[in-house]
């Protein structure tokens, strides 16, 4: 965990304000990293995404702004601001933002 993350401890934060959109790319900022898990904020420019992949841990995807399509084990879900979806460990998933979209990903290591 970097010094920047330490500056956030003990403060009220608005996760969506911690990352900015960048044309044609996905921007991320890790808020915390511990042996038990991580919390990362992502900003997806319209048309960007994460290709199908797996992760060794369960993760909770929470939509902060905009909407996106999440593919989980071949099934597509439209998620909008305020929605959450649990991504089980070792199950293929992908994220595609047709419009600008921000999310918080909490990965649970233990």
pLDDT computed for residue 4 by the predictor: 56
Closest CA to 89 of 60, 48, 65, 68: 60
Cα dihedral: 79, 35, 110, 14 (round 10): -30
Domain that holds residue 14: 3-108
Q: Across the chain, what does the average pLDDT equal?
A: 93
Mean pLDDT, to the nearest integer, of 39-44? 98
DSSP class of residue 46?
T
pTM above 0.85, yes or no: yes
CB 94 within 8 A of CB 53: yes
Count of domains forming the chain: 1
Q: What is the CATH number of the domain that holds 22?
A: 2.60.120.10
């Amino acid at each position: 965990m970097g010094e920047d993350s330490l500056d956030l401890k003990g403060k009220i934060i608005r996760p969506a304000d911690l990352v900015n959109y960048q044309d044609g790319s996905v921007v991320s900022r890790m808020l915390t990293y511990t042996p038990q898990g991580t919390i990362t904020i992502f900003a997806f420019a319209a048309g960007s995404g994460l290709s199908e992949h797996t992760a060794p841990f369960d993760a909770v995807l929470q939509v902060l702004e905009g909407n996106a399509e999440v593919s989980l084990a071949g099934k597509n879900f439209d998620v909008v601001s305020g929605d959450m979806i649990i991504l089980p460990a070792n199950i293929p998933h992908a994220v595609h933002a047709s419009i600008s979209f921000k999310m918080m990903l909490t990965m649970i290591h233990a």
